[in-house]
Structure 1
C-alpha cells in the first residue's frame, strides 16, 4: 500500500525511520521504508545501517552523488507500492498520526498530497534566526492558504504521490544541481494536469542552516531559478522572483538594481546575520543577486 521514501546526505536518519516504521506498523498496512544516502560517504551511515534491522525497512548508500532530482527518481523506481510518501531526512512527524492522516487520501486518484511543514516554536540562536524566520513566515502555512496556490506551495519534504504520477512527471535530472528542482517539479505537475491537494499533516523541519549557509544556498537557488527561466523551463510569471526580474529587465532597471545590490551588500548582510533579520531586505538581496548574475548564469 505505502512506500516511504527518504533521500539523505550526511545525516542520521535513523530516528525518522524508526518513528515512521512504528506509525506504519501501528496502522496495520502493507508498507516499506527505503532510505538511500546520496554518496556522502558519511560516518553517520554506520548509524543509518541500523535501519536495515527495522521490520520492512532498508538503508543503502550510493558510491557517488547523483543529485537531488535523480535520488528522488531512483527512490520512486524502487517503490513497490501504489502510494509513495517522500520525506526529507531532516524532518520528524509533529505527532504520531502522520501516516494515519494520510491514509484517507490514498484512493484511486492519480494525485499529489502535501501535508505541510512546521518549525519548532522556540526561537533559535541568532546564527540560525534568518532560516527560522523565513521558514515560519513563508513555508509553515496552513492548508487553506496553501491550497490557494496549490502547485507553487508544494514543498517536496513531506508529500504523498500516487505511483502513476511518476509515469507522467519526474524530477528533471538534466538541470544543474543548484536547487529549485522542486519548483520545476510542481510546474510540470501543473502542466500535466495532475492535481495537488493540501492538508494539515505537518512534519517539523529540524535541519536549520545557520544564516551564512542559508544565504549561500539562497544564492544557489537564485542561480538555479535564473537558469530555469533562461532555458524556458519555467515561465517568468510562475514565481514572484521571476515576475519581478522580468519587470526590471523590461523597464531597463536590472543594471541599477545590480549596482545598488553590490554597493549595499555588506550592510544587508549585517542585518540578515543579526538578531532582527528583515525578510523584505532578504527579498531585495535575492533579486539584487539575480540581477548581478551574468546572463549566462
Structure 2
C-alpha cells in the first residue's frame, strides 16, 4: 500500500514539514512519496523551498495561482499512491508516528474511505481571532468520531478511488467552504468516514484584520454557492446561511442591516480587532456580511 503525501504550497516555508515526514518514512520503511505543488508563491518563498527539489518525489511550480480546490484536484495527475494524504503547508508534525498511526487505522478499518486526523494550535498564536475560532468551533475532542461535520482539509487521508469520485468544487476559487461542500458530498453519498486524534500543529499567524477580510471572502463564496439550486443540499445546514435565509423569507434583512450599521457594527469590530475577541460577535459579523450581499 503506497501513500502519496500531497502538500499544496503557498507562501510558506515547508522544509521542516518535509524533513520530518522524510525522517519517519525512512525510519519505518514506509512506502510513501511526497508531492509538492506550489500555487504561484512569492519569489522569496520559492527560493526558500528550492532546496526541496531533490528531497521529494515531485515539486511542481505553477505560474498562476489556481486556488484551494483546483490545486488539490491536481494531485491526482501527479501521484501514484493508493491513498492520498493531504496536509496544509502551514503545519508541523506533532508525533514521530504520524504516518504510522494513519497506516494502522487503515489496516484496522479497511471499510473506511476517508480518515481525518484533526489539528492543534501553535501556542504562539492561540489568542488570535482565527485560532480562537479553531479552538471553539473546529477542533474536535475525544479519540474518535464518525461525525463528518468535524472534517477539515488541514490533515486527512483518502482512498484514491474515492477522491476520483468526489473532487473539490473548482468553481470555488476563493477562500471559504470548499472543505464543507467536499465533505457534504461524500457524507450524502454514504462514504465511510472516521476521524481520530492524529493531529498536526497548525501554525497560523493570521492577524485579526486579515481573518476578517478572509471571512468576508468566505461569505461571498457562500453566497456564490447559494446561487446554484443544486448546492442547497450541501449548504442548508450551515448555520449562518440557514439564519440568513429565514430572515430573508421574513423580510427582516433591511431592518437588521440598518440596525447593525447604526448601532452595533462599531462595537463588534472593536472587539474582533482586540486582543480578546469573542466568537459570538464573529457570528453576528458573518451574518451581517451575508445579509448585505443577499439584499
Q: TM-score normalized by structure 2?
A: 0.91
More helix per residue: 1 or 2? Answer: 2
1:279 Cα deviation from its structure 2 partner: 0.8
Shift of 1:131: 1.5
Q: Structure 2: how far apart are the matches of 1:134 and 1:110?
A: 29
* Shift, 1:8, TM fit: 1.0
Instruction: Name the SS of the counterpart of 2:148 in structure 1.
Output: coil
CA–CA distance in structure 1, aligned partners of residues 30 and 10 of structure 2: 28
Give structure 1 regions of 4+ aligned residues with deviation exceeding 4 angstroms: none
Alignment match of 2:121 (pick from 100, 104, 119): 119
Who is 1:19 aligned against? 20
Structure 1: runs of 5 or more not aligned? none
- Pick aligned residue for 1:225 from 203, 222, 225: 222
CA distance in 2, matches of 1:59, 1:47: 13
Where 2:185 maps in the other structure, the secondary structure is: helix
Q: Which residue of 2 aligns with 1:78?
A: 78
Is 1:180 the counterpart of 2:177? The answer is yes
Asked if the contact 1:90–1:205 (Cα under 8 Å) also holds between the matched residues in 2, the reply is yes
Match for residue 261 of structure 2?
262
Give the root-mean-square deviation of aligned CA atoms. Answer: 1.9
**Distance change >3 Å, CA 15–CA 123, structure 1 → 2:** closer
Match of 1:202 among 176, 199, 203: 199
Question: Matched residue pairs, number?
Answer: 289
**Does the aligned pair in 2 maintain the 1:169–1:192 contact within 8 Å?**
no
Output the CA distance in 1 between the equivalents of 2:43 and 2:125. 29
Q: Secondary structure at the match of 1:244?
A: helix
Relative to structure 2, which stretch is displaced further, 170-179 or 21-30? Answer: 170-179
Q: Which residue of 2 aligns with 1:129?
A: 128
What whole-Å deviation, never above 9, does each CA across 1:26-51 have from its counterpart, x for those lacking one? 22121100011112243211221211
CA shift, 1:255, in A, is 2.1
2:106–2:112 CA contact under 8 A, matched in 1: no
The alignment partner of 1:15 has SS state of: helix
Match of 1:147 in 2: 145
Question: Residue 273 of structure 2 corresponds to which residue in structure 1?
Answer: 273
Asked if the contact 1:27–1:99 (Cα under 8 Å) also holds between the matched residues in 2, the reply is no
Post-superposition CA distance 1:203-234 (Å, at most 9, x none): 11102200000011011111111221231314
Q: Unaligned regions of 5+ residues in structure 2, if any?
A: none
**Residue matched to 1:287:** 287
